[in-house]
């Protein structure tokens, strides 16, 4: 089973120049814990992710609600991503090693294909079986 097989819906996306309150509104409206930050809505090139944890950190630090998403979310090379053909074991390994609940799935040109949440992973019995067969998590690239 490949990473792309766990993508269940179109990703929620926003550009990094938008106020982070828009990402919060989108998360609340769609009942999800993250929004992917893209370069622009046409290219869908990955720039980052804003998660519930990022929002809580920003609010605790009294960051103004009109602060751009790019200043609040996790951006650039620190964003945890999987390639479409990566195994489910690799996705699980990324979540464990980086202590994240969302892994962004990208194609070879770093365009966003979708997001896999821990709920998506655990909600797919075939994926759980595949991960359960591992005697250790696969090495992940740095």
The residue length of the chain stands at 142
Between these two residues, 124 and 63, which has the higher pLDDT value? 63
| pLDDT higher than threshold 80 for residue 139 | no
Q: What pLDDT sits at residue 110?
A: 94
Q: What pLDDT sits at residue 132?
A: 79
Q: What pLDDT sits at residue 46?
A: 96
Give a three-class secondary structure readout of 114-131: EEEEHHHHHCCHHHHHHH
* Per-residue buried b or exposed e for 111-141, using 16+ beta carbons within 10 Å of the residue's own CB: ebbbbbbeebbeebeebeeebeeeeeeeebe
Q: What pLDDT sits at residue 142?
A: 55
Per-residue pLDDT tens digits for 12-44: 999 999 999 999 999 999 999 999 999 999 999
Per-residue pLDDT tens digits for 73-111: 999 888 999 999 999 989 998 998 899 999 999 999 999
Give the confidence band of 140 by pLDDT, cuts at 50, 70, 90: low
């Amino acid at each position: 089973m490949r990473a792309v097989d766990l993508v269940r819906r179109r990703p929620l996306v926003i550009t990094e120049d938008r106020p982070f309150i828009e990402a919060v509104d989108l998360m609340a409206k769609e009942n999800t814990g993250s929004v992917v930050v893209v370069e622009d809505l046409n290219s869908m090139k990955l720039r980052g992710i804003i998660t519930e944890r990022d929002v809580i950190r920003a609010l605790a630090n009294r960051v103004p609600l009109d602060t751009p998403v790019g200043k609040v979310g996790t951006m650039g090379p620190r964003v945890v991503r999987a390639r479409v053909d990566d195994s489910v074991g690799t996705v699980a390994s990324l979540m464990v090693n980086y202590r994240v609940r969302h892994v962004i799935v990208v194609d070879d040109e770093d365009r966003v294909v979708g997001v896999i949440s821990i709920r998506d992973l655990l909600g797919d019995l075939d994926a759980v079986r595949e991960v359960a067969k591992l005697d250790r998590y696969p090495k992940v690239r740095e």
